[in-house]
Structure 1
Amino acid sequence: MKSTILQWQNLAQKWRWPQAALVALSGVLMAIALPPWSLWPVAWVGLVPLWWMVLATPTVLLATAYGLLWGLVYYGISLAWITHLHPLMWMGVPWGSSVAIALSAWIFIVLWGSVCIAFWGGMMAWLARRWPGRNRWLVLAGTALWCALEALRNHSPLDWSPLSLTQSPDNLWILHLARFSGPGAITAILVATNGLLALALAEGRRQTDLPPLSHSSPIHPSTHSPIPRPILAAMALAITGHALGALLYTTTSIASPEQSVTLGLIQGNVPTREKLTPQGVRQALEGYTDGYRSLVEQGVDAVVTPEGALPQLWNPNTPQIAAIIQTVRQGGVPLWLGTFAPVPGEGRQQYTQSLLELRPDGDTYGRYDKVQLVPLGEYVPFEAVLGRLISRLSPLDSYLVPGQPQQQFITSVGVGVVGICYESAYSRLFRHQVRQGGEFIITASNNDPYPLWMMMQHHGFDVLRAVESDRWALRVTNTGLSGLVDNRGRTRWLGEPQTYLTHRATLDRRQNLTPYSRWGDWLTPFLLGLTLIWGWRKR
């Protein structure tokens, strides 16, 4: 205990507010590179202050604190939309508990991301002190470690705001690097470029108020030239990445016209606080019925609805669901309905968040069950421990169960790749479906009660998924933003938020596989292996 107190006292003595301000500025710069601001060029220099401070700090603990600070700023800004969960009084939650739920959700996911960056900062400082002078090896190690942490976080129940999202949806050339190894390829080139620039800044540094880089410092000056070699390396890396992405962008093949499919979407615009009431159920039933009939008249192959479009447990005998089935029989066109479907089996009845294909014969065929459920929203993690506490704060039920990762959404018009809600952030779920024959992407979301800038981030994820898999993507939401993205990442159509609308869209059905679809994220283990081999040889 006494040793811990002394460590924190030592940290407080070495903590310098100018350096902390630079780290916080770095977090702000990377945050504004994300949608909705989408200042993507900033991301190519925004990480430099964090790199510099982490490698120049006198202790590992201080570098860890800088990493934590950067994460709190970056994730705190980019995920502030989570606080729009409040108010929840319409669910019977008291005002105080509603605020507590919203703030707790925001703080928890911000801390989760921040702890990962704190670990990265501490590890980089430890490596820099253990093996001083290995500047370019440190850049490689830092890049590999950042990619590994993002990959691990993407296998957790909570993930959002990876560095790759800073380049979406506008920097289409660099997005095409994801075809090689997924979003990790974009993260790698961003982290490495920033690391090289930080080296150049440190090597060219002279007398400033920042921590001196003495002969014992992990970063040493190299040769003196008009343009330092790290800057030349950073420029070469960025230019090569954009050139390679541009080549992929311009050489993307075009599908033949007979491979197209025409889908209609309905953006119901029924707020969650209303659609769970009898009046809201009627409004949803009327809106989706009218929209379905309108799209059938326009000539579509199928009609798609958002996540939880009909907020009822699936039972063909209930009046509302029976009415939907009768409408599809009359229309003669399949309907892909977002609902809560029962899990076959005995014992306690369980349900999944699902997208079902209803055909004119009245039966359901294609089915996708949501894999990545929302903690506290759709299930209670560690229910034996947290169940009683959560029940005091909220009436949320935990009856939903996740679907199996290996699924196929086989429909009457082809095999679809489906993501529900924030599954758009999980590239591995889409990759598995593409490998199993998925020809186009459908993402179905609610997005209420979140603001427009969250919707724009969600759209950025869908652009990433379309590019990395070389598939067209149709985004269907309750309150927005619904849209259409082609396989090059170009947004062909984007609907207005917070409005009821229908849209007819034509998508290409594609069967080819990108390197990422075939082999997954091979770059991260390659970088880790290269780091170990290079480090061992240097040793």
Structure 2
Amino acid sequence: MRVLLVGFSGLLMGLATAPFSKFYFAWVSLVPLWTFIISEKTKYISHRDIKSEKSRLKSKTKISERILGAIAWGFSYHGFSLFWITSLHPVTWIGISWISSLIITISCWLLVTCWGIILVLVWSFLMLWYNINYIQKINCKKTKKKSLKDTEVLTSSLTQSFRRIVFGVAIWCLLEMIWNQSPLWWTSLSYTQSPDNLAILQLTKLSGHSTVTALIIAINGLISESILVIDKNKKQFLFLISLSVIIISSSHLYGLFLYNHRVLDFNDKKIKIGIIQGNIPNTIKLNHEGKIRALKNYSNGYEILANKKVDLIITPEVALPFNIQYILRNSLLHKKVIEHRVPIILGALGGKKAGYTNSLFTIVENGKILSRFDKVKLVPLGEYIPLENILGKLVYSLSPLENHLIVGENKQIFDTSVGQAIIGICYESAFSEYFRYQTSLGGEYIITASNNAHFTQIMSAQHHSQDVIRAIETDRWMAKATNTGYSAIINPNGDSLWISKMNTYDIHKGVIYARNTLTLYVKMGDWLTITLNLIAITPLLKDFLVAIKV
């Protein structure tokens, strides 16, 4: 029954994500899992029981209820949050059979869900290990000193509760940092607060998304630890609950202060930006009809925006599904660029010796390419095959697609006629370090380009929530162009000053500003996670050194 409750709380965490945006659920949704892991058997334990508990934990023949609880929570949260992946089915329009499409879609969803479950499992196991092997070791020493009987229940001290909380926060943030370096990442706890809780998101300027993740874990930990002592130590219960209220209140108030005291933009360079949302359905995007419509929609949209005297026009990811050289030689759009002399950032395919890239190109007044940016974070299975030597035969047996994209270089600078841009193409919006690095190299504003036509509105809403966090933590204006929505203009506070409708052909003229401010996060990276982990491991390191001397 408790496993079901833990699983349900994971579902509540999923409901905190966009477009449901019940962000307040995130501040309590980890409590059932925390209290389940640090249960009566592991928190209040006798000296004799410690040994048997360790033996039970090491048993390879039985899965503990706590691990099942972690799996249930992870599946509920990550599975629900990422269920939009299944809307990819059917993809019969690219020549895949209906049943193959179903198998591929479900497999992709299960793969990314399991990757999230592993994070929760590792965190839960380390929390359980820490509580049994370190916290209870302290209790054993106290028991011997006080000559208590083995059958007497030991009371957890406030210090031990704080140690568990710091350890839990540090490990979760560390795991998110590691997962953020992997090819698969989307569901940081921080994105449960976006785009609606802009006050707390201002704190990402301090140490990136981990600042919000740390606060969410800390509040859940304080509430959990207070529940665990409610019947045994009323003073400690009231102290922990009061502390959680103080921290969450002060964090939001400080975030609100930052939100209301942002540096004004009148000293920054004004850029009149044009955005084209082509609205080419994926079912026709690669056939003759889709290509003709794309050429027409983007050529007409360019001309309309050029006549409105914008400084720069942006298009979505692979707006024109052609090789860039073909576009420069044959397209009407290229001729209109030369005619109207307004630069455009165009999504197209870039050629390389080993294949092609998913790229953005800045085409300037004379019709030549000023800069190129190749997508770095490719979508596994969608744009390349991970572990191709192992999975290649299986994927090729299900899909007729033979080509896959080439990964772009990490250190790319994208210059435009109106300053250096920070670029994110589609899936890259989930990777905060990727944007931080470009900002540190001198990026003045953010341009993101996406397709989004593969999936439902839920995915587009979550994608927008990722972009909101990237704009806030780098303190940059953002203009985003998507194929089917949501295209938007976002200011450094995370406000969406304009957002398109879904599945419509849209043309918009707006204003963004080029900035050169540097947030603490841009300067120092995710220093909070490193600091928390140093604090968490210090007692463990001390014990280890003592053990070596002995």
Q: Which AA in structure 2 matches 1:464?
A: I
Cα distance, 1:318 vs. partner?
7.4
> Secondary structure at 1:36's aligned position in 2?
coil
Q: 2:306 aligns with which of 296, 302, 306?
A: 296
SS at match of 2:509: strand
Q: Distance in 2 between matches of 1:381 and 1:502?
A: 37
Give yes or no for the alignment of 1:139 onto 2:165.
Answer: yes
Alignment of 1:104-115 (within 5 A): 104-115=107-118
Unaligned runs of at least 5 residues, structure 2: 42-55, 58-63, 137-155
Structure 1 residue 399: Cα displacement:
3.2
In the TM superposition, what are the counterparts of 1:41-190 in structure 2 within 5 Å? 41-56=24-39, 58=41, 60=57, 61-130=64-133, 131-132=135-136, 133=156, 134-190=160-216
**Percentage identity across paired residues of the two chains:** 38
Q: 1:397 to 1:430 in 2, by over 3 A?
A: farther
The question of 1:277 aligning with 2:287 is answered yes
Matched, 1:27 2:10: yes
Does the CA contact (< 8 Å) of 1:302 and 1:333 recur in 2? yes
Cα deviation 1:293-324 (Å, max 9, x = unaligned): 000111100110000100112224776x4432
Matches for 1:354-393 after TM superposition, within 5 Å: 354-393=359-398
Shift of 1:352: 1.1
Match of 2:230 in 1: 204
Contact residue 419 and residue 443 of structure 1 kept, 8 A: yes
Summarize the Cα distance change of 1:253–1:352 in structure 2 as closer, same or farther, 3 Å threshold. same
What's the counterpart of residue 336 of structure 2?
A: 327
> Which range moves more in the overlay, 303-312 or 248-257?
248-257
Write the distance in 1 (CA, Å) between the matches of 2:500 and 2:40: 48
Q: TM-score, normalised by structure 1?
A: 0.90
1:508 aligns with 2:513: yes
Q: Which amino acid aligns with 1:28?
A: L
2:263 pairs, out of 249, 253, 260, with 253
Partners of 2:434 and 2:478 in 1: CA distance? 15
Q: Give how far 1:385 is off.
A: 1.9
After TM superposition, give the deviation of residue 350 of structure 1 in Å: 2.2
2:466 maps to which of 440, 443, 461: 461
1:7-22, aligned counterparts within 5 Å? 18-22=1-5
For residue 308 of structure 1, the aligned residue among 310, 318, 325 is 318
Which residue identity is paired with 2:195?
P
1:471 is aligned to 476
> Which of 324, 346, 349 is matched with 1:340 structurally?
349
Q: How many residues align?
A: 501
Unaligned stretches of 5+ residues in structure 1? 1-17, 206-220
SS across alignment from 2:291: helix
Residue 353 of structure 1: how far off its partner (Å): 0.6
Q: Is the 8 A contact 1:380 1:398 kept in 2?
A: no
Aligned residue for 2:325, secondary structure, equals coil
8 Å CA contact 1:379, 1:397 repeated in 2: no
Contact 2:281 / 2:453 at 8 angstroms: preserved in 1? yes
Using the TM superposition, give the Cα deviation of residue 423 of structure 1 relative to its aligned residue in structure 2, in angstroms.
0.5
Aligned partner letter, 1:501: D
Report the alpha carbon displacement of residue 258 of structure 1 after superposing the two structures with TM: 5.6
Contact 2:229 2:237 in 1 (8 A): no
Rate the CA distance shift 1:122–1:72 in 2: closer, same or farther, 3 A: same
Return closer, same or farther for 1:450/1:502 CA change in 2, 3 Å cut-off.
same
Code of the aligned partner of 2:128: A
Cα distance in 2, alignment partners of residues 422 and 115 from structure 1: 21
State the SS of the aligned residue for 1:24.
helix
Distance, in Å, in 1 between the alignment partners of 2:418 and 2:472 is: 22
Matched residue type, 1:328: V
TM-score normalised by length of structure 2: 0.88
Partner of residue 409 from structure 1, selected from 414, 417, 430:
414
When residues 258 and 245 of structure 1 are mapped into structure 2, their CA distance, relative to the original with a 3 A threshold, is closer
Map Cα deviations across residues 6-33 of structure 1 (whole Å, 9 max, x no partner). Answer: xxxxxxxxxxxx2111101210111111
Q: In 1, distance between residues paired with 2:301 and 2:116?
A: 41
Q: How far has the Cα of 1:129 moved from its partner? A: 1.2
Contact 2:440–2:518 (Cα < 8 Å) also in 1: yes
Deviations 1:54-95 (A, max 9, x none): 111756543222111111010110000000111111111011
- Give the aligned residue type for 1:281: K
